[in-house]
């Protein structure tokens, strides 16, 4: 194919000179292989020296700094853990002490209230016993008064019953003697 004069594009490979078409790819060309190995060795050694002298010490320094920081952080974490364990033990001890104090205070309060209630109960019991003794005295007095009235009522009732039965009233002394004899039994 030929060149198109209007768009200046190559339409075929016929235009490459014949001497250049058969050449090998330069990295695979045997005639330049030795010089390529020399330059490869030079660049490899230069790269190795740069990495060994500059990059590896920096990387080693960074790794050492990180190792030191990690060890420091671990030491700080252990120290803080020991502090928190000590604080937890102190908290648990103070909590147990507070519970014991609360228990003792509760026991003291309960004992004081029981003693106060017992004293109040004894006082009330004494007052009730005194009132009971007074009531018993009143009952005995009332009973004696009632019994004396009962004898008089019994004498009057017996006289009335005998009068109704026989038609005549018996003597008052005889009825009193009979009622007294019955009440003594």
- Is 1's pLDDT higher than 50? no
Residue 90 is encoded by which pair of tokens? 């102190």
Domain residue limits at 155: 32-184
| Encoded tokens for 149 | 């009235």
Is position 21 within any domain?
no
Looking at the structure of the chain, the number of domains it has is 1
Q: Is 47 inside any structural domain?
A: yes
Residue 42 lies in a domain: yes
CA pair distance 177, 163, nearest whole angstrom: 17
Per-residue confidence (pLDDT) for residue 16, from 0 to 100: 55
Are the C-beta atoms of 170 and 162 separated by less than 8 Å? yes
Instruction: Give domain status of residue 149, yes or no.
Output: yes
pLDDT of residue 165: 83
Sign for the pseudo-dihedral over CA of 99, 100, 105, 108: positive
Residue 179: how many other CB atoms lie within 10 Å: 20
Instruction: Identify which of 13-22, 96-105, 160-169 has the greatest average pLDDT.
Output: 96-105
C-alpha–C-alpha distance, residues 78 and 147, integer Å? 99
Q: Are 10 and 3 in contact (CB under 8 A)?
A: yes
DSSP 3-state helix, strand, coil percentages of the chain (rounded to 5)?
Answer: 85, 0, 15
Q: What whole-number distance in Å separates Cα of residue 82 and Cα of residue 85?
A: 5
Residue at 67 is within a domain: yes
User: Per residue in 134-172, is it b (16+ CB within 10 Å) or e — as a string?
Assistant: eeeeeeeeeeeeeeeeeeeebbeebbeebeeeeeeeeee
| pLDDT tens digits along 101-138 | 999 999 999 999 999 999 999 999 999 999 999 999 99
Residue 2 has pLDDT above 70, yes or no: no
Copy the structure tokens of residue 75.
């030491």
**Structural domain includes residue 10:** no
Q: How far apart are CA 128 and CA 122, in angstroms?
A: 10
> Per the domain annotation, does 14 fall within a domain?
no
Comparing 79 with 175, the larger pLDDT belongs to 79
For residue 175, name the pLDDT band (cuts at 50, 70, 90).
confident
pLDDT tens for each residue of 5-22? 555 555 555 565 555 555
Say what percent of the chain tops pLDDT 90: 55
Cα(180)–Cα(161) distance, integer angstroms: 17
Write out the two tokens for 100. 């014991």
Write down the pTM of the prediction: 0.40
Report pLDDT digits (tens) over 35-62: 889 999 999 999 999 999 999 999 999 9
Q: Is residue 13 part of a domain?
A: no
């Amino acid at each position: 194919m030929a060149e198109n004069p209007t768009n200046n594009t190559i339409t075929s490979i016929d235009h490459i000179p014949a001497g250049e078409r058969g050449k090998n790819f330069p990295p695979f060309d045997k005639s330049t292989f030795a010089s390529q190995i020399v330059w490869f060795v030079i660049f490899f050694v230069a790269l190795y020296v740069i990495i060994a002298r500059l990059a590896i010490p920096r990387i080693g320094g960074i790794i050492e700094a990180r190792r030191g920081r990690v060890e420091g952080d671990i030491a700080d974490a252990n120290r803080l853990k020991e502090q928190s364990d000590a604080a937890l033990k102190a908290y648990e001890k103070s909590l147990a002490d507070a519970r014991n104090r609360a228990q003792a205070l509760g026991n003291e309060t309960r004992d004081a209230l029981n003693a106060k209630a017992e004293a109040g109960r004894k006082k009330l019991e004494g007052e009730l016993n005194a009132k009971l003794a007074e009531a018993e005295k009143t009952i005995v007095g009332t009973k004696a008064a009632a019994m004396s009235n009962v004898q008089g009522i019994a004498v009057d009732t017996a006289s009335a019953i005998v009068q109704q039965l026989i038609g005549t009233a018996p003597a008052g002394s005889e009825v009193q003697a009979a009622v007294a004899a019955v009440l003594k039994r």
